[in-house]
C-alpha cells in the first residue's frame, strides 16, 4: 500500500509543478486517482491464470467450473501469504496464451480445496486426467463468468 500512496503523491506533485493553470487540476486528479485505485484493486483481488486453447474454450463456455493445478510451492505461494494466511481473491482472470491480443475472461473466485485425483471429460472431448498423488491437486472453484 505504501508504494501506491508514494506513486500517487509523486504524480500529484509533478502535476502541481508542471500543468498549465487552465487545466482543472481537481477533476483531473480525481480521474487519475480513480485509475490508480482500479489498477491496484484489480491486482490485489484477481488471480491470473494462463490456459491452453482446449481448456480455455471449455472454461469460457461455462461447462468447466473448476481449474486444477499441481499442489506445488509455486501455486501455494499464489494462494497463501507469507504468514500462511489465505490471500483474498474476488475474481480469476483466464487468458489463452501470452500474446498481447490474447482472448481473456473473468469469473468469480469461490475458493479452493485440495483433492487427491482428478478425472473429468467434457462435451468437446477435452479430458482432465490427473492420477492420484499424495500431495494432491489444488481444485479452484469458479462462479459465474463476468
Model confidence over 19-49: pLDDT tens digits? 776 767 677 767 766 766 666 555 568 899 9
In Å, what is the CA distance from 82 to each residue of 16, 40, 77?
A: 39, 20, 8
Burial of 27 (0-12, 13-18, 19+ CB in 10 A): exposed
pLDDT given for residue 1 in this prediction: 47
Looking at residue 130, its pLDDT comes to 85
pLDDT at 143: 93
What is the predicted pLDDT for the residue at 12?
72
Cα end-to-end distance, the chain, whole Å: 27
pLDDT (0 to 100) of residue 3: 60
- CA dist., res. 87 & res. 140, Å (int): 13
Angle, alpha carbons 131-132-136 (nearest 5°): 115
Q: Decide which of 2.30.130.30, 1.10.3720.10, 3.30.70.1880, 1.10.150.20 is the CATH code for 45-145.
A: 2.30.130.30
What is the DSSP annotation of 23-74? S-HHHHHHHHHHHHHHHHHHHHHEEEEEE-HHHHHHHHTT---EEEEE--HH
In tens digits, the chain (146 residues) has pLDDT values of: 456 667 767 777 777 677 776 767 677 767 766 766 666 555 568 899 999 999 999 999 999 999 999 999 999 999 999 999 999 899 999 999 999 899 999 999 999 999 999 999 999 999 998 888 889 999 999 999 98
Grid coordinates representing 82?
A: 507469507
Beta bridge partners of 70: 137
Query: What's the angle, vertex CA 96, arms to CA 53 and CA 48, rounded to 5?
Result: 135
Confidence at residue 72, expressed as pLDDT on a 0 to 100 scale:
94
Amino acid at each position: 500500500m505504501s508504494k501506491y500512496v508514494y506513486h500517487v503523491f509523486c504524480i500529484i506533485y509533478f502535476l502541481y509543478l508542471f500543468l498549465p493553470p487552465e487545466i482543472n487540476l481537481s477533476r483531473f486528479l480525481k480521474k487519475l486517482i480513480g485509475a490508480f485505485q482500479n489498477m491496484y484493486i484489480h491486482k490485489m483481488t484477481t488471480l491470473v491464470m494462463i490456459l491452453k486453447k482446449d481448456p480455455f474454450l471449455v472454461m469460457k463456455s461455462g461447462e468447466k467450473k473448476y481449474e486444477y493445478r499441481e499442489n506445488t510451492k509455486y501455486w501455494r505461494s499464489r494462494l497463501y501469504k507469507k504468514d500462511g494466511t489465505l490471500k483474498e481473491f474476488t475474481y480469476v482472470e483466464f487468458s489463452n496464451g501470452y500474446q498481447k491480443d490474447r482472448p481473456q475472461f473473468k469469473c468469480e473466485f469461490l475458493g479452493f480445496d485440495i483433492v487427491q485425483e482428478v478425472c473429468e471429460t467434457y462435451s468437446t472431448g477435452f479430458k482432465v486426467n490427473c492420477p492420484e498423488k499424495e500431495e494432491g491437486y489444488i481444485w479452484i472453484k469458479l462462479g459465474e463468468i463476468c
